[in-house]
Chain A
Amino acid sequence: MNTTAIKELLYKMADDLLIIGHRNSEWTGLGPILEEDIAFSSMAQDKIGQSQALFQLLHGLGEQEPDTVAFTRNAKQFHNAQFVELPNGDYDFSLMRHFLYDVADQLRFEMLASSGYEPLAKVARKIKGELKYHVFHANTWIVKLGSANEESKARMQTALNDAWNFALGLFEEGDFENDLKNEGVFAGEVALRQLWLETITPTLTKATLNIPHENTWEPKLGGRKGIHTEHLEPLVEEMSEVFRVDPSAEW
C-alpha cells in the first residue's frame, strides 16, 4: 500500500480532531448551561482521544510519538481544515460548526470502517459509534434553535452562512485521492461531500434553515497543505505551552 497516501489521510483526520477538540475544550467552564458545558467538554475528550488513536497509527508507520507530533509542530505543519481552527465565536457558531463538522466526520469514519487498510478500519469502527452521540447532540440543537423563535432562527441562519464555505473546505482533495480509492483505503473527498450534503439537508430543512445558494459556494481551501488563518498559531502556542516548558511533565 502507498504509505505516503495513508499518512496524508491520517494526518489530516488526526489534526482536525485535535484542533476541534481543543476548540471544544475552550467551552469548559464557560458553557451557557451546565449540560452544554459538559457536552462540549466530553466531546473535547472524545476528539482528543480519537486523534491520539490516529497519531498512534502514524507512529506505527514510522512517525514520532503522539505527544511529540501533537505538541512540537508549528502551525504550518498542521493539516487540519481551516474550519476547525476558527475561534468558537458565540454559541450559535460553535453549535453550527459542531453540526457541520461532526456529520462529516461521522460519515468519514463510517466509510473508513470498511477500509482496506485494516488498522484504520479497526479504529474507525470504534470511533463511528462514539461520534453517533456527537451527531445526536448537534441535530437536537440545530432543529431546536432553528425553529424556536425569530432571534434564534436568525442567529442560526447567520452562523450557517458564515460557516458554509469553511465547512466545504473540509473536503479539500489531497494529492493521493486516486491511490486511496484504487487501493480501497478511502472512497475520497468528493464522495464524502456528496454524502454529507445528502445527510445535512433534511436536518437543516427540519430546522427551517437554508443552505447558501450554490453559486455563492467558495470552499476555503489550503488547510490540508498547511495554509491557515491567523487563528491557528495562537491556538497551537497555547495547546503546546506546557509541553514546551517541560516535555516530561506528568499529571
Chain B
Amino acid sequence: MITEQEIWKGLELVKDPEIPTLSMVDMGIITKVEVRGESSVFVEMTPTFTGCPAIKMMEGMVADRLKEMGIIQIEVVTTFDKPWDSNKLTERGLMCLKKHGLAPPVKHSGEVTLELLEHTECPFCGSKNTEMKSPFGPTLCRSMHYCNDCLQAFEGFKPVV
C-alpha cells in the first residue's frame, strides 16, 4: 500500500499555477494527506487567500497528480480548519519565490505591520533600502515595491497572519 510519505513526495510535482517554480507542498497549502485504504487517498487543502480564484483549479491539479500515481479513490477538499499563513512556506518554498524574482514574505510573529512591509529585501540585489509602492499587486498574494539601490521595481509575496 502506498504511504503518506510517498503521496507527499508525489505532490511536490504539483506547482502553483501562478509561480511555476513553487510546489503546492512548499507553499504550505496542503494541510493533510491520509491514505484511507488500498488506492484511496484524502487530501485537505486551504487557500492562501479566501478569494483565491485558483483554488478549484488547484484541487483538480492535485486530483490529476494522484490519478497519475495510480490512486483510484480520490477526495480533495478545501477548508479553513488550518488556515494558511505565510510562515507555512517551507525554506525551499522561500528560495523558489526568490528564484522567481519575488521577495519572500518576512517571517512574522503573529502580527503584520506596515514597518514589516517597508524595507522588504530586494530579491535582485539584496538591499533593504526599498519602499512599498502598494500593498496590492497582480495577484492577491503579492505587493509592489521599489529598490532605491538597484532602481528596480519588484514584487513581494505578502506576509499574512
Contacts and interface: CB of A to CB of B under 8 A. Distances in A.
B121 interface: no
Interface residues of A, number: 26
B136 A133 contact: yes
B136 A129 contact: no
**Which of B53, B80, B133 has the largest number of chain A CB atoms within 10 A?**
B80
Interface residues of B, number: 25
30 contacts: A35-B133, A35-B134, A35-B136, A35-B144, A38-B137, A39-B134, A39-B135, A39-B136, A42-B137, A43-B136, A46-B49, A46-B51, A46-B140, A49-B49, A49-B52, A49-B53, A52-B50, A53-B80, A123-B50, A125-B83, A126-B80, A126-B84, A127-B50, A129-B160, A130-B49, A130-B51, A130-B160, A132-B161, A133-B143, A136-B135
Interface string A39-76: 10111011111101100000000000000000000000
B68 interface: no
A38 B144 CA distance: 11
Given A48-B51, A49-B50, A129-B112, A38 B83 contact: no
A169 to B, nearest CB: 25
Nearest to B52: A49
Given A35-B144, A46-B50, A129-B161, 8 more contacts: A39-B134, A48-B51, A49-B50, A52-B51, A130-B49, A133-B143, A136-B114, A137-B135
B112 A123 contact: no
A122 interface: yes
Contacts of A38: 134, 136-138
B57 to A, nearest CB: 13
B148 to A, nearest CB: 18
B145 to A, nearest CB: 12
Contacts of A128: 161
Contact of A42 (B114, B117, B140): B140
A45 B143 CA distance: 15
Interface of B: 49-53, 80-81, 83-85, 112, 114, 117, 133-138, 140, 143-144, 158, 160-161
Secondary structure class of chain A's binding surface, majority of residues:
helix
A133 B135 contact: yes
B7 to A, nearest CB: 25
A130 B140 CA distance: 9
Given A122-B83, A125-B83, A130 B136 contact: no
**Which of A42, A49, A52, A128 has the largest number of chain B CB atoms within 10 A?**
A42
Contacts of B49: 46, 49, 130
A49 B161 contact: no
Interface string A162-193: 00000000000000000000000000000000
